[in-house]
Amino acid sequence: MLELIVISTLNGVLFGMLLFLLSSGLTVIFSMMGVLNFAHASFYMLGAFFGFQLTKWIGFWPALVLAPLLVGAIGMAVERYGLRNTHKHGHVAELLLTFGLAFAIEEIVSMIWGKSPLDYRVPALLDFPAFTIFSTNYPAYKIFMLAVSVIIFVALLIVLKRTRVGLIVQAALTHPHMVGHLGHNVGRVFMAVFGVGSALAALAGVIAGPALVTQSDMAASLGPILFVVIVFGGLGSLPGAFIASLVIGLVQTFAVALDGSLASAFGPLDPSSGPSVLTDVWNVTIAQVAPIVPYVLLVLILIVRPMGLMGTRET
């Protein structure tokens, strides 16, 4: 049991940190522009596919740096030539732009790389068990993923809280006009933040690609969870996104590990009543409902605390 708890905690924290890499960019972009970027998970997918391709050409380590830079540049271009132009037509236009972009990216990716999963392998350097706890091996690559996520988290925190750049970004989030009057180029700040957010998503893609599955529906399958994370954490709040990512990661992992059902809590139903919808509900285990648990959390938080855990405004 202890083994299960330790392993599940590790897996949960890892998944949570990966979610944070993605949601950090998304939530900052949201607080800046007031618009949810539907294409954010697509940048994650682009990261994974670029990572795969560059790994094939020049190896994993250069790809780890280059792929996020490339996707960051694409993100900046999207902001500069797409969002900035649609901004004057209001939020709906911006929302539709990112929405369309998500579909376009998915189609382009499946045109280039096909629709089946790619053979994106863990680099040989990291393909060994890092340590063994109670006879279970823990892969070194997962430790590497965890390390990268933690480093990025710390770096992000330092940049935002301790540097002049962070100060300007934070000011631009809440008082863009004042920042503009003080002589800063707010447009360029937005573009840079959008670029960095996309690059972070891509970085998550590059490192998650070999561990999870790299295929053209990976954005669509992860996108909804991201929205849960940022709404749960509070739109626009970085610490909120961090806590929410870890909570969702842990909840999803532990839900799988639990076998409890109504039947095990209150005993089986009288068999003479025969199979019915009730017996199905009665016997369903927490593990079986694990995939919907995050969405249940989303509904609950919207009812109880609509601004999210650390958010300051109503969603």
Partner 1 sequence: MRKLTLAIAVIAPMLGHAASAEDTVKIGYIDPLSGGGASVGEGGLKTFQYLADELNAKGGILGHKIEILPLDNKTNPQESLVQAQKAIDAGAHYVTQGNGSSVGAALEDFVTKHNTRNPGKEVLYFNYAAVDPSLTNEKCSFWHFRWDASSDIKMEALTNYMKDVPSIKKVYLINQDYSFGQSVRSDARKMLGAKRPDVQIVGDELHPLLKVTDFSPYIAKIKASGADSVVTGNWGQDFALLLKAAADAGLKVNWYTYYAGGAGGPTAIKQTGLDHQVFQISEGIPNSGNQAAMDFEKAFRAKVNLSLWYPRAVNEMHMFKAAAEKANSIDPVKVAAALEDMKFEVLDGGQGIMRKDDHQFFQPIYISSFGKLAANEPFDEENTGWGWHIVSRVDTPQAMVSTTCKMTRP
> Toward partner 1, which CB reaches closer, 283 or 315?
283
Is 191 strand, coil or helix? helix
Burial of 245-283, coded b for 16+ CB within 10 Å and e otherwise, reads bbbbbbbbbbbbbeeebeeeeeeebeeeeeeeeebeebe
- Asked if 198 is part of the footprint of partner 1 (rule: CB under 8 A), the reply reads no
Q: Are 46 and 202 spatial neighbours (Cβ–Cβ below 8 Å)?
A: yes
The smaller minimum CB distance to partner 1, of residues 118 and 191, is found at: 118
Taking CA atoms, 263 is separated from 63, 97, 187, 242, 275, in Å, by 50, 48, 58, 35, 14
Closer CB to partner 1, 73 or 130, in the complex? 130
Please report whether residue 66 would count as binding partner 1 according to CB under 8 A: no
Of 202-231, which residues contact partner 1 (CB under 8 A)? 211-213, 215-218, 221
**Using the rule CB under 8 A, is 276 a contact of partner 1?**
no
Residue 7 near partner 1 by CB under 8 A: yes
> 134-173 mask for partner 1 (x: CB under 8 A)?
-xxxxx--x-------------------------------
Q: How far is the CB of 198 from partner 1 (least distance, A)?
A: 22
Q: How many residues sit close enough to partner 1 to count as binding (CB under 8 A)?
A: 35
φ, ψ of residue 131 in degrees (nearest 5)? -155, 170
Burial class (CB in 10 A: 0-12, 13-18, 19+), 220: middle
CB of 299 to partner 1, least distance (A): 19
Contact 227, 208 (CB under 8 A): no
Q: Are 28 and 41 in contact (CB under 8 A)?
A: no
Instruction: State yes or no: residue 69 binds partner 1 (CB under 8 A).
Output: no
Determine the Cα–Cα distance for residues 265 and 285; give it in Å rounded to an integer: 11
- Asked whether position 291 contacts partner 1 by CB under 8 A, the answer is yes
**Residues at the site binding partner 1, with contacts judged by CB under 8 A:** 1, 3-4, 7-8, 11, 15, 110, 115-117, 129, 132, 135-139, 142, 211-213, 215-218, 221, 253, 256-257, 259, 285, 287-288, 291
